[in-house]
Protein backbone atom coordinates (compact mmCIF):
# COMPACT_ATOMS: atom_id res chain seq x y z
CA UNK A 1 0.00 0.00 0.00
CA UNK A 2 1.35 3.44 -0.93
CA UNK A 3 0.56 6.63 0.99
CA UNK A 4 1.44 10.32 0.70
CA UNK A 5 2.48 12.47 3.67
CA UNK A 6 3.26 16.10 3.01
CA UNK A 7 5.72 15.99 0.09
CA UNK A 8 6.87 12.35 0.46
CA UNK A 9 5.59 9.00 -0.75
CA UNK A 10 5.76 5.89 1.46
CA UNK A 11 5.25 2.14 1.00
CA UNK A 12 4.29 -0.34 3.72
CA UNK A 13 7.25 -1.82 5.63
CA UNK A 14 5.78 -3.47 8.75
CA UNK A 15 2.13 -4.28 9.29
CA UNK A 16 0.50 -3.76 12.67
CA UNK A 17 -0.03 -7.51 13.19
CA UNK A 18 3.74 -8.11 12.84
CA UNK A 19 4.44 -5.27 15.26
CA UNK A 20 1.95 -6.62 17.85
CA UNK A 21 3.47 -10.12 17.71
CA UNK A 22 6.98 -8.76 18.19
CA UNK A 23 5.85 -6.58 21.12
CA UNK A 24 4.36 -9.64 22.84
CA UNK A 25 7.71 -11.44 22.51
CA UNK A 26 9.62 -8.41 23.84
CA UNK A 27 7.25 -8.23 26.84
CA UNK A 28 7.74 -11.93 27.60
CA UNK A 29 11.50 -11.37 27.62
CA UNK A 30 11.13 -8.31 29.87
CA UNK A 31 8.83 -10.20 32.26
CA UNK A 32 11.46 -12.93 32.64
CA UNK A 33 14.47 -10.61 32.86
CA UNK A 34 12.88 -8.30 35.44
CA UNK A 35 11.09 -10.89 37.56
CA UNK A 36 11.18 -9.90 41.24
CA UNK A 37 12.24 -6.35 40.35
CA UNK A 38 10.23 -3.19 39.75
CA UNK A 39 11.65 -1.47 36.68
CA UNK A 40 10.82 2.03 35.53
CA UNK A 41 10.09 2.38 31.84
CA UNK A 42 11.24 5.76 30.51
CA UNK A 43 9.42 6.54 27.26
CA UNK A 44 11.10 8.94 24.87
CA UNK A 45 8.50 11.35 23.52
CA UNK A 46 7.00 11.88 21.10
CA UNK A 47 7.78 8.83 19.01
CA UNK A 48 7.65 6.06 21.61
CA UNK A 49 4.22 6.74 23.11
CA UNK A 50 2.30 4.19 20.99
CA UNK A 51 5.01 1.54 21.29
CA UNK A 52 5.30 2.03 25.06
CA UNK A 53 1.51 1.93 25.50
CA UNK A 54 1.26 -1.39 23.65
CA UNK A 55 4.36 -2.80 25.35
CA UNK A 56 3.33 -1.94 28.90
CA UNK A 57 -0.06 -3.63 28.36
CA UNK A 58 1.84 -6.89 27.75
CA UNK A 59 4.19 -6.49 30.75
CA UNK A 60 2.77 -8.26 33.80
CA UNK A 61 5.45 -7.49 36.38
CA UNK A 62 5.09 -4.50 38.73
CA UNK A 63 6.57 -1.45 36.99
CA UNK A 64 6.44 2.31 36.71
CA UNK A 65 6.31 4.58 33.66
CA UNK A 66 7.74 8.04 33.12
CA UNK A 67 8.66 10.13 30.08
CA UNK A 68 11.35 12.42 28.76
CA UNK A 69 11.21 14.48 25.59
CA UNK A 70 14.26 15.15 23.48
CA UNK A 71 14.57 16.02 19.82
CA UNK A 72 17.25 15.91 17.16
CA UNK A 73 15.27 15.78 13.91
CA UNK A 74 14.19 18.44 11.48
CA UNK A 75 12.10 17.01 8.63
CA UNK A 76 13.64 13.66 7.64
CA UNK A 77 17.22 14.39 8.78
CA UNK A 78 18.95 14.31 12.16
CA UNK A 79 20.49 17.63 13.10
CA UNK A 80 23.16 15.84 15.14
CA UNK A 81 22.28 18.04 18.13
CA UNK A 82 19.97 16.82 20.88
CA UNK A 83 17.65 19.26 22.61
CA UNK A 84 16.06 18.36 25.95
CA UNK A 85 12.46 19.55 26.07
CA UNK A 86 11.16 17.60 29.10
CA UNK A 87 13.68 16.19 31.57
CA UNK A 88 13.44 13.39 34.11
CA UNK A 89 10.52 13.75 36.49
CA UNK A 90 11.66 11.24 39.12
CA UNK A 91 14.75 9.96 40.89
CA UNK A 92 16.32 6.92 39.22
CA UNK A 93 18.86 6.22 41.98
CA UNK A 94 19.19 2.45 42.50
CA UNK A 95 16.34 1.79 40.04
CA UNK A 96 16.28 -0.64 37.13
CA UNK A 97 15.66 1.59 34.11
CA UNK A 98 14.39 0.57 30.70
CA UNK A 99 14.57 3.33 28.11
CA UNK A 100 11.81 2.80 25.54
CA UNK A 101 12.57 4.32 22.15
CA UNK A 102 10.74 4.18 18.85
CA UNK A 103 13.91 4.09 16.74
CA UNK A 104 17.68 4.19 17.17
CA UNK A 105 19.39 5.38 14.04
CA UNK A 106 22.45 7.66 14.36
CA UNK A 107 22.59 7.08 18.13
CA UNK A 108 23.01 10.77 19.04
CA UNK A 109 19.77 10.82 21.04
CA UNK A 110 20.54 7.49 22.71
CA UNK A 111 24.01 8.64 23.74
CA UNK A 112 22.50 11.79 25.26
CA UNK A 113 19.80 9.81 27.11
CA UNK A 114 22.19 7.22 28.49
CA UNK A 115 24.51 9.94 29.81
CA UNK A 116 21.55 11.78 31.37
CA UNK A 117 20.18 8.64 33.06
CA UNK A 118 23.55 7.28 34.24
CA UNK A 119 24.13 10.55 36.14
CA UNK A 120 21.15 9.49 38.29
CA UNK A 121 23.07 6.40 39.52
CA UNK A 122 20.52 3.71 38.54
CA UNK A 123 20.99 0.05 39.46
CA UNK A 124 20.82 -0.87 35.76
CA UNK A 125 20.00 0.69 32.40
CA UNK A 126 18.78 -1.15 29.32
CA UNK A 127 17.19 0.03 26.09
CA UNK A 128 14.11 -1.39 24.41
CA UNK A 129 13.72 -0.01 20.90
CA UNK A 130 11.06 -0.89 18.38
CA UNK A 131 13.37 -0.18 15.43
CA UNK A 132 17.15 -0.23 15.06
CA UNK A 133 19.09 0.92 12.01
CA UNK A 134 22.35 -0.99 12.57
CA UNK A 135 24.06 0.55 9.53
CA UNK A 136 23.37 4.10 10.76
CA UNK A 137 24.44 3.81 14.40
CA UNK A 138 27.69 5.72 14.94
CA UNK A 139 28.36 4.39 18.48
CA UNK A 140 28.11 0.86 19.88
CA UNK A 141 25.66 0.65 22.78
CA UNK A 142 25.81 -2.39 25.05
CA UNK A 143 22.58 -1.19 26.67
CA UNK A 144 20.44 -1.89 23.58
CA UNK A 145 19.14 -5.21 24.82
CA UNK A 146 15.62 -5.42 23.42
CA UNK A 147 15.11 -4.83 19.69
CA UNK A 148 11.82 -5.15 17.86
CA UNK A 149 13.10 -5.00 14.29
CA UNK A 150 16.39 -4.21 12.58
CA UNK A 151 15.67 -2.16 9.46
CA UNK A 152 17.71 -0.67 6.61
CA UNK A 153 18.53 3.03 6.45
CA UNK A 154 15.09 3.99 5.12
CA UNK A 155 13.17 6.97 6.48
CA UNK A 156 10.08 5.56 8.21
CA UNK A 157 6.74 6.85 9.51
CA UNK A 158 3.75 5.43 11.33
CA UNK A 159 3.14 3.77 14.68
CA UNK A 160 4.38 6.86 16.53
CA UNK A 161 7.04 7.92 14.01
CA UNK A 162 6.37 11.12 12.08
CA UNK A 163 7.37 13.23 9.12
CA UNK A 164 6.97 16.94 9.85
CA UNK A 165 4.57 16.06 12.67
CA UNK A 166 2.34 13.89 10.46
CA UNK A 167 1.86 10.12 10.27
CA UNK A 168 2.23 9.17 13.95
CA UNK A 169 -1.35 7.88 13.97
CA UNK A 170 -0.81 5.25 11.26
CA UNK A 171 -1.10 1.68 12.59
CA UNK A 172 1.52 0.29 10.23
CA UNK A 173 5.09 1.44 9.60
CA UNK A 174 5.90 2.81 6.15
CA UNK A 175 9.22 3.55 4.41
CA UNK A 176 9.94 6.47 2.09
CA UNK A 177 10.23 5.55 -1.59
For the annotated catalytic residues, the residue numbers are 105
The torsion of the CA quartet 170, 42, 56, 97, rounded to 10 degrees, works out to 140
Alpha-carbon distance of 156 to 152, in angstroms, equals 10
Task: Give the angle subtended at the CA of 121 by the CAs of 119 and 126, to the nearest 5°.
Answer: 90
44, 71 contact by CB (below 8 A): no
Amino acid sequence: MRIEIDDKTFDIMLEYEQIKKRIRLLAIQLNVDYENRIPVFIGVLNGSFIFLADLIKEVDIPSEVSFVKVSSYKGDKSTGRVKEEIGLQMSLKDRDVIIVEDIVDSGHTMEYLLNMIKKEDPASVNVCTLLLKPNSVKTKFDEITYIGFEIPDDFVVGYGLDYNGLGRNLKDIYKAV
